Structure 1
Amino acid sequence: MVPHVVLTWATTARGGAENSVIELAGNLARLVPSVDVVWWRQGGPSARTCAPARVYEVTSWREYMATLSSVCAPTDGRPVVVISNHRTAAADVVIAPDARVIPVVRHVVNADQALRVIDPYDGVMVEHTVGDLWWELLGPLPVWVGISDASSASLRVHAPQARFVTTIHNGVSIPATVPPHNRPVTGRLLVATVARTVPWKRVDQLVRAVADPRLSTSVRLDVFGEPGSHQGELAHLVQELAAPVRFMGYTDQLPQRLAEYDLLATASTQEGFGRAVIDAAGAAVPSLVPAAGASPELVIDGLTGIVYNPDDPGDLVEALTEALLDRPMLAAMGKAARALAEGWYTPGRCAAQYLSLVIGQRPLARPLVAAQ
């Protein structure tokens, strides 16, 4: 019997992970008879619809427990698989002990990184390193998912208690046709970045690069994303360096907005996936990414974008200069980036891989009998 699938998520801000969870639910619901989403809103956005999947939005621990318990007890007797995440996994094991829980790790984790997770016993959001999670609950889980090879590799190193780790790259919906390139008429290289202004996104590295005297009059950087804890410091840095930078805020129309730019640039060395790279590819815009985290998995250096050394600020400036001087190269890279996204980073492929994993988690129809 095909299992009933439940996805859980606790959101604190708008971002790529939120979009990925909803897209996965909607595409899985096209493959299996029933899919539910339990969306715990803790300051982040309301869940979008993803029919035919059903979405239950809750705002408290009590609601989360009651809703998850309810959807994990289907009336048709189907087995239940919960596609969880590092925030809710331990809580999901406690609340739904008869379900098969599959945690999805959406970060590149390290030993000292503080992860925000739900305490499975009182529902409070607390900070723990990956090694200090509730492994008495999580250790027996048969499989974990990383959303990139980098994410999976970091989990194997820093959470050896995870029994088996597999990689399923996110799928990203891109426009059926390339959005019009309504680029302003200017000789400048127009660069976009998509990131909440928090320290680990390292937007300051991009600000310093475009403020370099060799680039400052020929490049403009626009920052898309919700303001974060680093916003004030970044604004001060922009003013101090007289950097050609604008803060554009959050947008739900990324491919359409990114079509106004020549290049997407990122700086984070801990990116678990880097959804904006695929959003840019949907607009036939190439990406400039660091050789760290999951970014090199999404960009083929010299074909769909440019990969630079994040430990060498001069390499970032050099890469931006190369892009500035060779616009035909960028156009060709953008076309190749879109072709790669259409071929691999599709929501359908992502959902099919999760379906294979879900089917593999079905309880046995009858107990195994030892060979005589």
Structure 2
Amino acid sequence: MVPHVVLTWVTTARGGAENSVIELADNLSRLVPSVELVWWRRGGPAAARYSPARVHEVSDWGGYQQAYVRACVPADDRPVVVISNHRTAAADVALAPHARVIPVIRHVVNADQVLRVIEPATGSMVERTVGDLPWDLLSSVPVWVGISHASSAAFRVHAPRARYVSTIHNGVAIPATVPDGNRPATGRLLIASVARTVPWKRTDHLVRAVADPRLSTAVRLDVFGDAGSHQAELETLARELAAPVRFVGYADDLPQRLTGYDLLATAAVQEGFGRAVIDAAGAAIPALVPQAGASPELVLDGLTGMVYDPDDPWDLVAALTDALLDREALTRMGRAARALAEAWYTPGRCAAQYLTLVMGQAPRSLAGAP
């Protein structure tokens, strides 16, 4: 029997994960008769009301409990599968023991990394390492999903009782055609970075690189993303180094905005996926990414972008210099990046892979619940 599918998410800020969850719900709704999305808004954006999935937006723990339990009781006797996430996985298992819960891990974790998760007993958000998650509850989870090979591999190593970890790359909706963009006539190499200004995004590495005397008068870096805990420090660093950097804030129309740039650059080494790389590809813009985390999975070095050594700041400067000196190569790589995104990183492919995983779980029906 085709299951009833419930997706859960707790949002604390605007970012790529929020877009990915909504797109997955939308595309699963085209494949599965009944899909519901429980969206706990603890900050960040509202859920998309135009979604074909049935959306339950809540603002507190009590609302989440009620909406989730209600969503896990379908109108008929369909079995229930929950596509959860690391934040709510334990709570989802506890609240609906008859459902099969498939949590999605959206980070490249290590043994010491702190994750913010919902405490099942109280609904409060607490900080836990992977080893300190409530594995007495999570041991019943049949399969976890990593959004990249790097995410899955790290979780296999550091999660003490994860039985099976599958990999499903995110899908990203890209425009049917390359958006028309207005490129400022600066003569400079225009570089975009898409990152909330928090320390783990390592935007300071990009700021220092473009401040290099060999680059500073020939490039400009614009940082898109909500202001985070590192914003003031980064602004001070840019002023002190006289770096050609602008902090332009969050953009809802990111693919449109990116068409005005020559290159996307990232610096995070624990990126679980890196949605901005595919957003840039949709605008036919290549990406420069570190050889770490999931980023190298999204960029074919020399074909759809460039990869640099994150432990060598001179390698980042050298890569930016190469980009500055060969604009034709950037145009060629941008076209290839878009072709790759159209072929593989599609929301439809992503939803189909999740559906295959969901159908393979043979979940118990509601009638068989104790």
Q: Normalising to structure 1: TM-score of the pair?
A: 0.97
Counterpart in 2 of 1:139? 139
Question: 1:71 maps to what in 2?
Answer: 71
Q: Does 1:255 align with 2:223?
A: no
Does residue 241 in structure 1 map to residue 210 in structure 2? no
| Structure 1 match to 2:102 | 102
Corresponding residue of 1:91: 91
Matches within 5 A, 1:271-350: 271-350=271-350
Q: Which runs of 4+ in 1 moved over 2 A?
A: 362-365
**Letter matched to residue 46 of structure 1:** A
1:217 aligns with 2:217: yes
Could you report, residue by residue, the CA deviation over 1:279-330 in whole angstroms, capped at 9, with x for unpaired residues? Answer: 0000000000000000000000000000000000000000000000000000
Residue 187 of structure 1 deviates from its aligned partner by 1.4
Q: SS where residue 330 of structure 2 aligns?
A: helix
SS of residue paired to 1:288: strand
* Aligned residues of 2:171 and 2:345 also touching (Cα < 8 A): yes
* Aligned-partner Cα distance in 2 for 1:348–1:50: 18
Decide whether aligned partners of structure 1 residues 34 and 139 sit closer, same or farther in structure 2, where only a CA change above 3 A counts: same
Summarize the Cα distance change of 1:364–1:36 in structure 2 as closer, same or farther, 3 Å threshold.
closer
Shift of 1:186: 2.0
Superposed CA offset, 1:130-170 (max 9, x none): 11000000012110000000000000010031000000000
In 2, the alpha carbon distance for the partners of 1:106 and 1:350 equals 15
Offset, 1:44: 1.4
Identical aligned residues as a percent: 75
Alignment of 1:163-178 (within 5 A): 163-178=163-178
Aligned to 1:369: none
What is the deviation of 1:50? Answer: 4.8
1:19 is aligned to 2:19: yes
Partner of residue 368, structure 2: none
What secondary structure does 1:215 align onto?
Answer: coil
- Residues 106 and 50 of structure 1, relative CA distance in 2, 3 Å threshold: farther
Deviations 1:57-87 (A, max 9, x none): 0001001001101110112111100000000
Q: Note closer, same or farther for the CA distance 1:350–1:50 as it changes in structure 2 (3 Å cut).
A: farther
Aligned to 2:56, what secondary structure does the other structure show? strand
Confirm or deny that 1:56 pairs with 2:56. Answer: yes
Unaligned runs of 5+ in 2: 366-370
- TM-score in terms of structure 2 length: 0.98
Q: For the residues of structure 2 that align with 1:41 and 1:187, how far apart are their CA atoms?
A: 43
Alignment check: 8 A CA contact 2:181 2:260 kept: yes
Residues 243-292 of structure 1: CA deviation (Å, up to 9, x unaligned): 00000000111110000000000000000000000000000000000000
The DSSP-based 3-state class of the residue aligned with 2:353 is: helix
For the 8 Å contact 2:197–2:228, the answer to whether it is kept is yes
* Letter aligned with residue 7 of structure 1: L
Moved more, 300-309 or 68-77: 68-77
Partners of 1:248 and 1:45 in 2: how far apart? 18
Worse-superposed segment, 153-162 or 216-225? 153-162
1:351 aligns with 2:339: no
Distance in 2 of aligned mates of 1:30 and 1:77: 21
Distance 1:167 1:84 in 2: 15
Structure 2 counterpart of 1:184, which letter? P
Shift of 1:364: 6.1
Long gaps (5+) in structure 1: 366-372
AA of the residue aligned to 1:126? V
Per-residue deviation, residues 339-364 of structure 1 (Å, max 9, x unmatched): 00000000000000000011112236
Q: Does the CA contact (< 8 Å) of 2:79 and 2:364 recur in 1? A: no
Query: Would the alpha carbon gap of residues 364 and 227 (structure 1) be closer, same or farther in structure 2, given more than 3 Å must change?
Result: closer
Instruction: Tell me the number of residue pairs that the alignment of Structure 1 and Structure 2 aligns.
Output: 365
> Does the CA contact (< 8 Å) of 1:22 and 1:50 recur in 2?
no
Aligned counterparts of 2:358 and 2:298: Cα–Cα separation in 1 = 25
Spell out, residue by residue over 1:87-138, the C-alpha distance to the aligned partner (whole angstroms, 9 max, x if none).
Answer: 0000000111111000000000011011000001110000000110000000
Higher mean C-alpha deviation, range 140-149 or range 41-50: 41-50
Root mean square deviation, CA, Å: 0.8
